[in-house]
Amino acid sequence: MTTVTFRDALREALREALRSDDRVFLMGEDVGRYGGCYAVSLGLLEEFGPERIRDTPLSESAFVGAGIGAALGGMRPIVEIMTVNFSLLALDQIVNNAASLLYMSGGQFNVPLVIRMTTGAGRQLGAQHSHSLEGWYAHIPGLRILTPATHADARGMLRPALADPDPVLIFEHGSLYNVRGELDDHAGPVDLDHAAVRRPGRDVTLIAYGGTLRVALEAADRLSGAGVEAEVVDLRTLRPLDTATLLDSVARTHRAVVVDEGWRSGSISAEISARITEEAFYDLDAPVGRVCSAEVPMPYARHLEEAALPRAEDVIAAVGRLGGCGGSDG
């Protein structure tokens, strides 16, 4: 085991992909000489050269479109977009081209494209750099949406993503880049199809992903001190959702709270709540709870940003509102 940052784990995944397949290349704003806006690609230009670590102009639509063309031509491009907010400038390319070409071509053309981008708030970067829009992309058929929350997933999701014949979007929460943790020296690819139970419990299911996993785990630790044992499920993949793991957990705990940094209205938490209610209604002892960001553009001021984001105390309060947790009837 080696102690590394989340950023280090992502960089090693990129390095392994570049070494193992000559078709793989990385492109995006400042990924080369600057080393990446978040230093994920630092040193890769010197190791692999400018043909495979390509700095692009400041035009998301253009370089995402170039990545789609390269994928159609047999390459395995990894496109980095600085932040999810800026991906909206390439929304036409992602939704109308990358996600749709296989269907529109009658199955003739796959688009084996990986797009990485930073998501989430908590770093005082203002509204245009801080939103969590991955739930929007999870709405789109034809895309796979990945949200690594652990070092093992940061290291292990890229290889199977590159092996997918269809476009994959990887959302990296910006608050995780500096987080240190242990990583198995022989860590390999991870399962993209199933959610993971990060902490077993009996009284309530806390459902989280990406940056909110830490919030859910902190809440679970504090609830345990009060005699409530929360099970924490890490979604890992937002599309396709692993509904079976969620239903299995709710069947044991009979209560659920979804922790989602997106806005509450029309969110991935709303979709999860609907699926649980539709498919596990008679297992529930209380309505599904949701803890989301405040419905405002993300504030810059630190105290306002912290107030707008889901916090462990918000999760604990949501569990309290469900009632009945921690007793023999839980």
Catalytic (active-site) positions: 60, 129
Do 212 and 261 touch, CB atoms closer than 8 A? yes
Neighbours of 306 (CB within 10 A): 13
Identity at 325, one-letter amino acid code: C
Greatest CA span in the chain, whole angstroms?
Answer: 63
CA atoms lying within 13 Å on the CB side of residue 12? 20
48-71 burial by CB neighbour count: b if 16+ within 10 A, else e?
A: beeebbbbbeeebeebbbbbbebb
Q: Report how far residue 199's alpha carbon sits from residue 191's, in angstroms, rounded to the nearest whole number.
A: 18
Q: Indicate the angle between helix axes 212-225 and 312-322, nearest 10 degrees.
A: 60
Task: Determine if the peptide bond prior to 240 is cis (ω within 30°).
Answer: yes
Strand 230-234 and strand 196-199: pairing? Answer: antiparallel
